[in-house]
Amino acid sequence: MLTNYFSLPVRVYYQDTDAGGVVYHSTYLNFMERARYEWLRELGFNANTLVAASNVLFMIRSVEIEYFKPAVLDDLLAITVAVQEVGRSRITLFQEVLCSHIKLVNATIHVVCVDAEKLKPMSIPASLREKIGKPA
């Protein structure tokens, strides 16, 4: 079950595309990263405060991505974030890239909470875990 749904509008700019105006495959990962960052901000957190207050960073452990249709120059996309699973130190997120409600790309992102100095897994801070909620 997915919880804590968030959507970020993103316009496709020339820098996001190849000479034919089609979005580069790796650019979708950038869009998803931006949406995850804004999702955290909406929850009341950002990278600087998480490091300062809790000494934590979030690192990508793995990405499973599927491409269905290409986005093109000037498309207005919706980049979504939804919590799929929460573990002690791991969050599994499901993300989609939509254009006019048509699915272009989806991905399952496994994120690990790590100590900012040692870069070793650690428990997700209670304040963040409370805001994320635990999917059923």
Q: What CATH number does residue 116 fall under? A: 3.10.129.10
What local confidence, expressed as pLDDT, does residue 103 receive?
98
18, 74, 75, 115: which one is catalytic? Answer: 18
Has 18 been annotated as catalytic? yes
Model confidence band, residue 136 (pLDDT cutoffs 50, 70, 90) = very low
Residue 133 DSSP symbol: -
Q: Please give the residue range of the domain that contains residue 117.
A: 3-132
- pLDDT tens digits for 23-44? 999 999 999 999 999 999 999 9
pTM for the full predicted model: 0.91
**3 vs 57, residue with greater confidence:** 57
| pLDDT(63) > 80 | yes
Q: Sort 100 into a burial class: Cβ within 10 Å, 0-12 / 13-18 / 19+.
A: exposed
Q: Sort 133 into a burial class: Cβ within 10 Å, 0-12 / 13-18 / 19+.
A: exposed
Number of structural domains found in the chain: 1
